[in-house]
Every structure is written in structure tokens, then in C-alpha cells.
Amino acid sequence: MSLGKIIGQKNKDLSKRIDKQKVPEHVAIIMDGNGRWATKKGLPRSFGHKKGVSVLKEILKAAKKLGCKVITVYAFSTENWTRPTKEVDFLINLFSEVLKKEIEEIHEESTKIKFIGDLTPFPENLKEIISNSEALTKNNNKFLFNVCVNYGGRQEIVKVAKELALKSSSGEIEPHEVNEELFNSALLTHGTKDPELLIRTSGEKRISNFLLWQLAYSEIYISDVLWPDFNEFEFLKAIIDYQSRSRRFGGIESLPNESFEDSQLSS
């Protein structure tokens, strides 16, 4: 049997353990470890980012196959500008090249692509490619692919607070009308269900300013695998782990024949 067939069989075996009724609709991913992967292999960091793109394609495919509806990835944080100019330029160029190459296929699969973050500092040619890609795919409804670039969770929250403060001072809303629903509607992800699952690769146990509001109740899965080594098998493992959790949203799981008695406290 070829290696490809063996891997395919392993993935099939694992996917049989997945409850198709409980697949998360929205999975957020922090794709971490590209640089370390390349350095470990004695390669320039850019090789890690390139390999990272092919992994991303594999995961998008796997997520669609499983029945997920939204994937949101952290491709460039507001803090990533502090990297050496050469690496920042490489990443910006990579975004353009990948989009140019992949957008037709993304569109054919009826996937809608959306960029989330402040695009202002990016070069005009990237902004144009992004805007064309979003326009081309805006009516697609099978799958949503959110790419967070120059994104920061705190910055997003401050932006919403400013917008609501302005609306309040202009009399468009009353201060007491500010609630979670209104706040949600002003987020960059408005209209999209919050992620049920956050996957972070490379073993780091941090949220790193990613979707701070939206991840409030998400399950977090940390994989020790570096992003360029992540694959469908690892993704399926994350889904199985997610399905083993009980999501209580601060409440308690109701079990049959279990009741809470005040007397249990006073006795």
C-alpha cells in the first residue's frame, strides 16, 4: 500500500469515531510554529510559512468534508509588524501570491473569503487583491473562510467601544441600550456564530490577542505539533477531543435522576 493510501485509511478510521451531529460549526485556528519548524530543519523561516499554506489548504478541505461551516485563521497579528522587515515583506507577498493562485478554486467551491483586521497599512496591490477576492466570493454560502490579518482582539474591542460611544454622543443610541447583542453586531465578525473550538498548534498555551470577545466560551485544544506538520489526522484528533468535552457555559450539566437539594448544603 502506498504511503498516501495508508494515511488516507488512518484518517478514515479516525473520522469514523466522530459524531457527525456534533461537529463544531466554527473552528478558529492559531497556526503557530512555522518559524521553529523551518529553523529545526536548518531552513529559512520562509520555508515554514510556505509549508504552512499547504497545511492550511489540507485543513480547509478536511473541515468542509466533516461539515464545519466556518474556519477563522490568525494569519498576521498586530504584533507581527515587529518581525524583521524581510519576514514581514515575505508574508505580505505570500498572502498576495496565495490569493491570486487559489481564489478561483475557493470560488468554485462556493466558499466566501473574508479578511478581518485593519487593512490600512498593507500595500495597495494586496488591498486590491483582497477586495477583489471578497467581491468575487461575497454571495457564496457553502463555507466561510475568515483570514485575520493585522488583527488584534483588544483593538477590535476598542474599535467597537468607540463606535458605540460616538453613536451615543450623537443621540443615535442611548447609553443604556449598549448590551452584548449591540456589541456583537459591531464586531468585525458580526453575523458569524462564535467559534465552538479554538485550535492552537506548537504547544503554546496562550490566546495571543486573538478573537478575545468571540472565544469567551470556546473549547481550547492545544496541539504540540508545529503548524507545518499539522494535518487532517491531527485536525480529526482535535475534533474528537472537542466532542469528549461537556460544554456547560457556566451552568451545570443536567444528568437524569440528579437534583439539587438545599438540604445538601445545610447538612
- Cell digits for 235? 485536525
Kindly state the smallest distance separating residue 105's Cβ from ligand FPP, in Å: 13
Q: Which stretch binds ligand FPP (CB under 6 A): 15-23, 48-56, 62-70, 178-186?
A: 48-56
Task: Report the DSSP beta bridge partners of residue 114.
Answer: 146
Out of 26, 29, 52, 151, the residue judged to bind ligand FPP by CB under 6 A: 52
Tell whether residue 28 is a contact of ligand FPP (CB under 6 A): no
Kindly state the smallest distance separating residue 91's Cβ from ligand FPP, in Å: 6
- Residue 32 among the catalytic residues: yes
Residue whose Cβ sits closest to ligand FPP: 35
Q: What are phi and psi of 111, to 5 degrees?
A: -95, 135
Tell whether residue 32 is a contact of ligand FPP (CB under 6 A): yes
How far apart, in Å, do the first and last CA atoms of the chain sit?
65
Out of 56, 129, 144, 164, the residue judged to bind ligand FPP by CB under 6 A: 56
By rule CB under 6 A, what string of x and - marks binding of each residue 188-217 to ligand FPP?
Answer: ------------------------------
User: SS in 3 state form for the chain?
Assistant: CCHHHHHHHHHHHHHCCCCHHHCCCEEEEECCCHHHHHHHCCCCHHHHHHHHHHHHHHHHHHHHHHCCCEEEEEEEEHHHHHCCHHHHHHHHHHHHHHHHHHHHHHHHCCEEEEEECCCCCCCHHHHHHHHHHHHHHCCCCCEEEEEEEEECHHHHHHHHHHHHHHHHHCCCCCHHHCCHHHHHHCCCCCCCCCCCEEEECCCCCCCCCCCCCCCCCCEEEECCCCHHHCCHHHHHHHHHHHHCCCCCCCCCCCCCCCCCCHHHHHC
Kindly state the smallest distance separating residue 28's Cβ from ligand FPP, in Å: 14
Q: How far is CA 144 from the centre of its chain?
A: 11
Distance (Å, whole) CA 137 – CA 114: 9
Catalytic choice (11, 80, 140, 184): 80
Tell whether residue 98 is a contact of ligand FPP (CB under 6 A): yes
Tell whether residue 147 is a contact of ligand FPP (CB under 6 A): yes
Tell whether residue 33 is a contact of ligand FPP (CB under 6 A): yes
- Residue 229 among the catalytic residues: no
**For ligand FPP, the closer CB: 80 or 168:** 80
Catalytic choice (11, 19, 32, 184): 32
Q: Which stretch binds ligand FPP (CB under 6 A): 17-25, 90-98, 157-165, 187-195?
A: 90-98
Kindly state the smallest distance separating residue 95's Cβ from ligand FPP, in Å: 5
Q: Which stretch binds ligand FPP (CB under 6 A): 89-97, 168-176, 205-213, 240-248?
A: 89-97
Residues lying near ligand FPP in the complex (CB under 6 A) are found at 31-36, 49, 52-53, 56, 75, 80, 91, 94-95, 98-99, 147
Annotated active-site positions, please? 32, 80
